[in-house]
Amino acid sequence: MKKILSVIFLSVAFIAANAQLKDVDIIKKINSDWFQCFTNKDTAKLKSIFADDIIYVNTRGVVFNKKNILDIVMQPERQYQSIAFEKIIKATVSGNIGMIIAQTITTRKLDNQECAFKSSVMNIFEKRNGKWFVVASHNTILDVR
């Protein structure tokens, strides 16, 4: 009986670990899609990435809600040429909560001035009804070029 319970326990642990690895890959993909949406102003897709109750803190410490973020992305004077992970420091999932801590490089044109900056980001995801959403994001600027 102990052998059977041990096998069941190991099987469940293995399945749970594989599910978490898969979810980590999913939140990394969502994060990359989010970056792409900023560069091509795809607010329709952003609406499906961000939770309705998202809290987003930009590099200046200003807090935005979902509508604010979508409005900013569509500003004609704001153009994101590229956003990419420089390195992912940690990507993890525990239950229905996921987190990515990373450094990013962004190239942006705002009011006809182009700049590149490096930032530290922490993005929090929550799995709701089987789908992952970004529920919080905090960005700290590290370097402007």
Nearest to 82 by CA among 43, 46, 118: 118
∠ CA 71-127-140, rounded to 5°: 50
Tokens 């709701």 correspond to what residue? 128
Greatest distance between any 2 Cα atoms in the chain: 72
- Kindly give the confidence (pLDDT) of every residue in the chain, 145 residues in length, as a single tens digit, with 9 standing for 90 and above: 566 645 455 444 444 444 456 999 999 999 999 999 999 999 999 999 999 999 999 988 999 999 999 999 999 999 999 999 999 999 999 999 999 999 999 999 988 899 999 999 999 999 999 999 999 999 999 987 7
pLDDT in tens, 22-41: 999 999 999 999 999 999 99
Q: Reduce the DSSP state of residue 138 to 3 states and report it.
A: strand
Please report how many Cα atoms fall inside a 13 Å half-sphere around the Cα of residue 51, on the Cβ side: 18
Q: How much is the pTM?
A: 0.82
Q: In the sheet where 97-110 sits, what is the strand order?
A: 63-64, 50-57, 131-144, 113-128, 97-110, 78-94
Domain at 2-144: CATH architecture: Roll (3.10)
As a whole number of angstroms, the distance between CA 85 and CA 106 comes to: 9
Indicate the domain borders of the chain.
2-144
